[in-house]
Structure 1
């Protein structure tokens, strides 16, 4: 059994308070507009995140000396952090710090990698088990104050791989306090 178009027109018009076709068409336009807007925002956010990770030059150690105990860094821009071996925080705020350190494979034994500040003490602490691993990756969010001093140490000293993809320290400022 099939129903006529008149039957559907009568039933839908009753739900919308009579003559609701124009209101329904307007709602459909609004929904389509919102879907297009949400799609554009999602694409823009995806592109922004992709460019952040692809285009970004991460600070890397400057040299590959034997028995490095205090790691050296080359800062790319001095907006939030400046320095080389000791890094000084330029502005108060909440920061996301991420650190990867890779040793040369001939360094057997355990090595402790520590990112610490003078005021907050240990921020990140990781262990490289020389029998299995040659890298450690750590991350943490932390509140830092202007003038706070950060440094990264390796105990005992070892030869660190210096490429930007193997050893790096990243700093993302989340907000101001």
Structure 2
């Protein structure tokens, strides 16, 4: 069985022969709209990209001003203060039997060297003192190492048990007045190592009073 030509025309919408022309015209319009929309999208994307590039690239004068401000800020920032530290080394010989430990320093600052190994405090303030003493290996008896202040008396006191150890390390913070005198002694007398890693004295000035 075959369908009639009139039935086919009704289903396809081609009434009177003009439906095909209308459909082709609509397709051309759709293609034109798609092309136009694509061009508009590309133009908008390009415009947005150029806008952001322009905003992220400041003028040369602004960049120069920013560098100048950064340099000025770095200059005005406070620089870290150097810690006031004095280190002292032995002024005796390994072969000597010493009781009062004599000290030498390269540069005097807030503590000055006195005759007979004493140390003179030149400025009032808070101080932190650390001391290490190492006896000669053949010293077998007990020894007491003492740091004394003329005004404060005994500041530090350490015991070296000759049968077990040969080294003592001590440290303490305290206040000292200008004109005070520090003395380090060893009782009884002994031969004390002078190498810089074995026996040394250090004083840090924390602040002024």
**TM-score of the superposed pair, with normalisation by structure 1:** 0.67
Which position in structure 2 is the counterpart of 1:142?
Answer: 174
| Alpha-carbon distance in structure 1 between the residues aligned to 2:118 and 2:156 | 15
Quickly say closer, same or farther: Cα 1:155–1:146, change in 2 above 3 A. Answer: same
Partner of 1:114: 146
**Given the alignment, which residue of 98, 107, 110 partners 1:77?**
107
Question: C-alpha separation between the residues in 1 aligned to 2:102 and 2:193?
Answer: 12
Dislocated runs of 4+, deviation >4 Å: none
Pairing partner for 2:124 from 92, 111, 125:
92
Spell out, residue by residue over 1:47-72, the C-alpha distance to the aligned partner (whole angstroms, 9 max, x if none). x99xx8xxx88321112243200001
Contact between 2:87 and 2:203, CA under 8 Å: does it hold in 1? no
Q: Once the 2 structures are TM-superposed, how far is the Cα of residue 75 of structure 1 from its aligned partner?
A: 1.8
Larger Rg: 2
Q: Could you tell me whether the CA contact under 8 Å between 1:58 and 1:164 is conserved in 2? A: no
Q: Relative to structure 1, is the Cα distance of residues 92 and 78 closer, same or farther in structure 2, using a 3 angstrom cutoff?
A: same
Which structure 2 residues correspond to residues 30-41 of structure 1 after superposition, within 5 A? none
Partner of 1:59, secondary structure, is strand
Report the secondary structure of 1:58's partner residue.
strand
| Alignment partners' CA distance in 2, 1:78 and 1:138 | 23
C-alpha RMSD of matched pairs (Å): 2.1
The answer as to whether partners of 2:147 and 2:185 remain within 8 angstroms in 1 is yes
Which sections of structure 2, spanning at least 5 residues, go unmatched?
A: 1-78
Contact kept in structure 1, 2:134 and 2:199, CA below 8 Å: yes
Cα distance between partner residues in 2 of 1:140 and 1:94:
11
Higher helix share: 2
**In the alignment, which residue of structure 2 is the partner of 1:161?**
193
- Partner in structure 2 of residue 7 of structure 1: none
1:142, 1:58 → 2: CA distance?
17
Number of matched pairs: 127
Matched, 1:176 2:205: no
Q: Which runs of 5+ in 1 are unaligned?
A: 1-43
Q: Which residue of 2 aligns with 1:58?
A: 87
> Match of 2:87, SS?
coil
